[in-house]
Amino acid sequence: MSELNYKELLKRVIDSSPEKEVIEDRFKLPKAEIFYEGNTTVIKNFDKISDAVNRDSDLILKFLLGGLGTAGELEGSRIVFQGKIPAKSIQDKLKEYIDAFVICSECNRPDTHLVKQGRTTLIRCDACGAFRSIKSRKKKIVQQPSETLKEGMTYDLTIKDIGKKGDGIAYFDKYIVYVAGAIKGSSVKVKIEKISGTVAFGHIAGV
C-alpha cells in the first residue's frame, strides 16, 4: 500500500468518526461524591464540578436548590443540603444544568460562557461562535413553584423527616418547612410563622 493511499484511508476514518465520541472523551463531568451527615446531604467535591463546567458555584447551587426543592449552602469546597436527597436526583439535576447552561446546542461542545444582553442571558460558544438564549430551555427543565408560602397562612403538609432539634420537616415546592412538635409520617395542617428565603417555620394549627 502506498503512503498516499494510507493517508487517504486514515483521513476517511477520522472524518467518518462520530463527533460526539470525541466530545465525550474530552468533557467528562466529575461524578458527584455524595454522602449523608445526620439529616443533611453533602456533595463533597462540588468545587471540582463547578471548575469542570466553568460556571460560578453560586449559580449552580441556585439551580440545584430550585430543582431539588430544598435549602442548602456552600461550605468551602462542598454543598450541604437540608434533608436526605437521593443521589440519583442530584446527578439528574447536574446533567440538566449542563444541558441548559453549558453545552452548545449547535456543536455540542462545552466550550461556552454566559453573556448578558440587557435582561437576557445568552450562551456563547467559543468553539463554533453560536449564540443561544437559555431562557426558553430553562423553562422546560426547571419546575417553577406553583404556589408561594405566606406567613400566617395554613397548609396541609406531610412530615417527611425529623430535624436535629426534634422539629418535623415537610416540603412545599421549593420550601423546606420546620414544624414544631410534628411526628414523622403524619399529615398535618401547619400555620406558617416565619419565612426566610426557602426555609419556613410553623406549628400545627390548633396546637
What are the pLDDT digits (tens) for 172-185?
A: 877 888 998 888 88
Report which of 171, 183, 180, 169 is spatially closest to residue 205, judged by C-alpha positions: 180
Helix, strand and coil percent figures for the chain, each rounded to 5: 30, 30, 35
Q: Which residues contact 29 (CB under 8 A, 6 or more apart)?
A: 49, 52, 53, 94, 95, 98
Give residue-wise pLDDT tens across range 76-88: 899 999 998 888 8
pLDDT at 201: 92
pLDDT at 15: 58
Residue 33 has pLDDT above 80, yes or no: yes
**Domains (ranges, CATH) in the chain?**
3-105 (3.30.30.170), 154-204 (2.40.50.140)
Helix (H) or strand (E) holding 160: none
Mean pLDDT of 163-168: 83
Buried b (16+ CB within 10 A) or exposed e, 108-121: ebbbbeeeeeeeee
Residue 140 has pLDDT above 80, yes or no: no
Mean pLDDT of 126-141: 64
Mean pLDDT of 70-75: 91
How confident is residue 154, by pLDDT bands cut at 50, 70 and 90? very high
pLDDT at 199: 85
Report which of 166, 189, 186, 169 is spatially closest to residue 177, judged by C-alpha positions: 169
How confident is residue 5, by pLDDT bands cut at 50, 70 and 90? low
Average per-residue pLDDT for the chain: 80
Residue 36 has pLDDT above 90, yes or no: yes
Dihedral in degrees, nearest 10, Cα atoms 181, 186, 188, 193? 40
pLDDT at 103: 86
108 vs 194: which has the higher pLDDT: 194
Residue 51 has pLDDT above 60, yes or no: yes
Residue 3 has pLDDT above 70, yes or no: no
Q: What are phi and psi of 99, to 5 degrees?
A: -65, -40
Residue 16 has pLDDT above 60, yes or no: no
Cell of 141: 427543565
